[in-house]
Structure 1
């Protein structure tokens, strides 16, 4: 297909859709906001270390995720769009399990060894499960009518690796709230879990989930910016 034919076909799909679809334009905005937050992490308020590095990787992966979704409206049938979608799923499978380990590093007293003995195997299990289902066995198909145009997995059911990782993070961020009086990481994790659970399978699940991710990342950034304060407070006690 020539470039002219591809552009013509893309415009034809945009103008003459048989079924109503949610706009994907807003996902470019989500991607831009994630990149802006990524730039902010290089400010002086953030302490260097692997938790900050993970947060940067998470922001970059979600910016990529939203960019791929946004491109679906005009690139759904392009061969390279399937490759981008596979990259999107691979990032999802490989990065999100690290959220449990990030929870271990939330500000507060050092976690007991038993916590690490439980969380590390769970994170590894989520990584292997996600890699198998979202990389090795991934089969893609166009999203249903009325949804944001994109390619999605044919496998039914919730993303269990993500669900388990979120639950582990809630427990660890709840401990941060209890020990440090800082509830915001827990609040962000709870909101994203409730939104994704309540709207799972609906046409609004993707845009609502993107909004929930945005507030979650903002609260994680706020929490991470407070790490030097928590560290100094712990040393002064």
Structure 2
């Protein structure tokens, strides 16, 4: 099943990236270009899992998987900036304050540094198989503080956007992403996580379409 679904996830994320580029050409926004950057990491993530069983265990596949986690640490915190920019476009009052505009970048950069120093620097990978797929995962699994912090921040901003322009989907997408990633990987692998991440990014990418 995984060998069938991950290529679909890869193509779906690629399709969202192409759509995002078209949206950016029509209405250039910082939030859209940052979402395209995040999607680049998601495309790579699903692609490497898709072809892992073809490459087989070894240094090459381990290195390719290590890049997955690097991109996660570098790109995902940018969603904090995306959320604030969307709130600003939606007319949320506090999102226009200069301290918020600069502060979201400071938070994103802080989360990037935190992730690199605490997670990526000490990252040890081991091979694992699931439903026909082969990937490398962290040897020791800890609470994903980085992901939880970002989800909470984006969820709070999504709530304010919902209240301002009656568009609940950014908030709902965050809840879906949070719930899906909370499911145990020993049972579901990363299949559910990759699917809900796709829904989450779709919710963020469609939000600019209804804000002024």
Structure-2-length-normalised TM-score: 0.86
Note if contact 2:56-2:134 (Cα within 8 Å) is conserved in structure 1: yes
Among 137, 140, 145, which residue is 1:152 paired with?
137
Query: Cα RMSD (Å) of the superposition?
Result: 2.3
Counterparts of residues 195-214 of structure 1 (less than 5 Å): 195-197=180-182, 199-214=183-198
1:213, CA displacement in angstroms? 1.1
Q: Secondary structure at the match of 2:83?
A: helix
Deviation, 1:125, is 3.0
Distance in 2, Cα, partners of 1:208 & 1:74: 22
Alignment partner of 1:192 out of 174, 177, 183 = 177
C-alpha distance in 1, partners of 2:154/2:184? 20
2:42 to 59, 62, 66: 62
Are residues 1:140 and 2:119 paired?
Answer: no
Give the gaps of 5 or more residues in structure 1.
1-21, 232-237
Relative distance call for 1:172 and 1:205 in structure 2 (3 A) is farther
Larger Rg: 1
| Structure 2 Cα separation of the partners of residues 212 and 160 of structure 1 | 18
Structure 1 residue 188, shift from structure 2 partner = 0.5
Q: Structure 1, residues 128-180: CA drift from partner, whole Å, max 9, x if none?
A: 12112443211111126768421011132122111101110000111111111
Q: State which of 185, 203, 207 in structure 2 corresponds to 1:219.
A: 203
Distance 1:44 1:128, change over 3 A: closer
Alignment of 1:127 with 2:106, yes or no, is no
Q: Distance between the aligned counterparts of 1:145 and 1:67, measured in 2?
A: 15
Aligned pair count reads: 206
Unaligned runs of 5+ in 2: none
Please name the residue that 1:33 is paired with.
Answer: 12
Q: Report the TM-score, using the length of structure 1 for normalisation.
A: 0.78
Query: Aligned with 2:142: secondary structure?
Result: coil
1:119 deviates by: 4.1
Deviation at 1:59, TM superposition (A): 1.2
